[in-house]
A = this chain, B = another copy of it.
Amino acid sequence: MIFKTPTKYFLVSGASEGYTPLNAFDGALIQAGIGNTNIIKMSSIVPPHCKLVAPIAFPPGALVPAAYACITSDVPREIISAGVAVALPEDKNQNGLIMEYSAKGDRDKIEEVVRNMAVEGMKLRRWEIKDLKSIAIEYKVKKIGAVLAAVVLWG
């Protein structure tokens, strides 16, 4: 095994204006509490027995795997939203599934879509869902804005 399997996870979200789209993304990461880490994007599983914890204050510059949705916009007054959902299985020896979604539109709609995505992903696996967690955020762009929702893993 090259990497250790994560044992903890948490959900966060953030939104920000920025000087450029990448600055807005950086600001959204900061607001989410993970702005001073090195996020490595991954597809999208919560390992079995991985525990939901309160957000962790990582050492600065730590390499941290995360599944996330992010959208930026430079259209003033546009509403953008991002959400993530985690579906956990009845069978504790099976893994959970993370889904990510971001789009123009308000938070409730994006959160509903991403929760449905997680439900559909568990149906595909023919696994019963024990718990469905989600987080979503919306933002009204001033000049250049970003929203981010993430499931962060740690071990």
Contacts and interface: CB of A to CB of B under 8 A. Distances in A.
A111 to B, nearest CB: 14
B63 A63 contact: no
Most buried by B among A22, A99, A101: A22
Number of identical monomers bound together in the oligomeric complex? 3
Interface string A22-60: 110111011000011111111111111010000000011
Given A26-B124, A39-B43, A63 B60 contact: no
A42 B18 CA distance: 19
Given A22-B101, A42-B63, 20 more contacts: A2-B4, A2-B6, A2-B64, A2-B153, A2-B154, A3-B3, A3-B62, A3-B63, A3-B65, A5-B63, A6-B61, A22-B99, A26-B99, A26-B121, A27-B124, A38-B45, A38-B65, A40-B65, A48-B60, A50-B61
Interface of A: 1-6, 16, 18-20, 22-23, 25-27, 29-30, 35-48, 50, 59-65, 67, 94-95, 97, 99-101, 113, 116-117, 120-121, 124-125, 153-155
